[in-house]
Structure 1
């Protein structure tokens, strides 16, 4: 537990202290945010605010994880494990895709970056590489970082996917979650605060799995997770990195995370769910992200359907994603952010309740 706290504290300090340096550097380089002209007009004043702040979140997460392993090595423990490194690989890989997207927006002075096909290809390559590696490297008990079974709070033994099926499922989970966080990142601090809560939940889940492993003597309710302590270190570091970044990203934001941060955070959430074998539970834990994504799907689907039938497309919301609907309805941005944080916290609490109910139910 002390090692997890060390990772969290170091990641927090790194994020709080280094993010202002990133702000200064990006301002000097002119790395400012472009704003959608069809969005809320109140956002136009944010044009030019430094973006790509996700590099601070990613860097702080890696530093926190690495520092924890330095402490472990000093105490005579082993080095980083496959699960932790795979989670960070997914975070950094998708962050790199987002970084290219942000960079193109800045260079071309527009709110659209990579073409959809190019962005899709980048996400596909990173995700497939992660999924293939995740079913390699079994430990002495034969457990690989990920399982080819669908999981809820542990593997559902009757639903086997096979290697190909697992790769497809991993892509759907990772791309869906990373794009969901990307959609949520539309108001100052909204995505960072909500993501910190989810990573906090994964820290606790992974720690409970670490304290109740199956190992060579499986007991009722034990967890077959390859490296739960490493996952807890990554999750705790990411949680603190988000909190540290939020200090500078809260309204009025001095820096935005950009696609660099949102794709990386969404990818890491999905990676933690896959590696901790809580894939379906992610829907509950990330309920806020799911709701915001659903609002965009409903808006687009209804518009296309009504345009096909009547020739004039109609909308369910004033604007999607959902938080922009409330902006156009006259809500203050800070009010929306806080209320959405409350919703995100309730979703995380519900997800943790489901996990803990299973934990208690299995003794």
Structure 2
């Protein structure tokens, strides 16, 4: 029997099947992680139970929130210069981040407050504040888009200023609350890189860059939510021995992303908007910084890095190849990279499936190298 992987036709990928594969993959990975640590999957200190609970809560909230968003006429505006197949998505409710992100944060705060020590709860409170702050920036951008009936929200300069401001506040809290050793980055093979004062501009950059990277990845049904769910689960597994509270936070965020994919899978009934995408990147970055896992965060964010790099390369190449008329050449058919793949013939479900698989491999490789799982 012939299987044509090139365009995913023989595999007959659908949004529902990708959701099933994602749910099974996340659940099995979480169970293995708990088993390797000697925890029962349904124990209060596991990563599996908060994953499942937040997935159910997020999926359930969607059935109430999506009709409400439609009633409020919070519809997505599609850029005319994007893939033409996306034009049919115009009017699909956006701002989905308003229900699945706060749900995960609330459960993580209550869970860690009830079952964790105070010293494990405080980091959860800090990363929750950062996550909600970036969700607020994204909501403001989404609201301006809906209000002005265009695909342009707040200005890029103002948006960046808000992001940098939140990053600086988080760094000030880190400097006040954490030991000086936080400015040392752990590298592969046990190497340590002491950065000293240079750590702080790097930390602010990581927060801003990660939030924008996940934002750029949010362009295909189920893509950003699914890849973030995988990355968050992997990061939670890595930090579990030292930061059990943050492990619960990552499990909750991962599960809530999974529940959102129930409604965001192809064909999407709702988009997360900047409200969701900016906050997911901020959550990953804040946990990575606080747990001193920047190198692992970079590996787990491989998909987001490539998406961002494709935009930078596209802009740089266009400017470098401008002719006398001011017109340059394009390195890709369109950036970010998932748009390039779509314009070369890949279906949305094929792109999502490939990115899920790649992100899963990155997470499993990182876990194998750092935990022996």
TM range (shorter): 0.7 to 0.9
| Residue 320 (structure 2) aligns with | 305
Partner residue of 2:183 out of 139, 148, 153: 148
C-alpha distance in structure 2 between counterparts of 1:171 and 1:70, whole Å? 28
2:159 corresponds to which residue?
Answer: 119
User: Quick one: which of 139, 144, 152 aligns to 1:99?
Assistant: 139
- 1:181 is aligned to 214
Q: Is the 8 A contact 1:58 1:261 kept in 2?
A: yes
The equivalent position to 1:134 in structure 2, one of 160, 163, 174, is 174
Residue of structure 1 aligned with 2:259, choices 244, 247, 268: 244
Asked if 1:55 corresponds to 2:125, the answer is: no
Distance 1:282 1:158, change over 3 A: closer
> For residues 231 and 314 of structure 1, do their structure 2 counterparts lie closer, same or farther at Cα, with a shift above 3 Å needed?
same
* 1:158 positional shift: 4.6
Q: Separation in 2 of the partners of 1:280 and 1:308?
A: 40
SS of residue in 1 equivalent to 2:194: strand
Distance 1:231 1:148 in 2: 19
Match of 1:204 among 215, 237, 245: 237
Q: Distance in 1 between matches of 2:206 and 2:190?
A: 16
* 1:279-322 C-alpha deviation (Å, 9 max, x unpaired): 12212111111111111111111000001688430011110011
**What are structure 1's unaligned runs of at least 5 residues?**
211-227
Partner of 1:85: 125
Aligned to 1:161: 196
* Change in 2 beyond 3 A, CA 1:353/1:115: same
Contact kept, 8 Å, 1:98 with 1:260, in 2: the verdict is yes
Q: Counterparts of 1:324-363 in structure 2 under 5 Å?
A: 324-356=339-371
Separation of aligned partners in 2, 1:80 and 1:158: 26
Deviation at 1:123, TM superposition (A): 0.3
TM-score (norm 2): 0.83
Question: Structure 1 stretches (4+) deviating beyond 4 angstroms?
Answer: 77-80, 153-158, 308-311
Give secondary structure in 2 for the equivalent of 1:313.
Answer: coil
Instruction: Report deviation, 1:333.
Output: 1.1
SS in 1 for 2:371: helix
Give the CA deviation at 1:157: 4.6
- RMSD over equivalenced CA pairs, Å: 2.1
Q: Against the structure 1 CA distance between its residues 97 and 25, is the aligned structure 2 distance closer, same or farther, given a 3 Å change threshold?
A: same
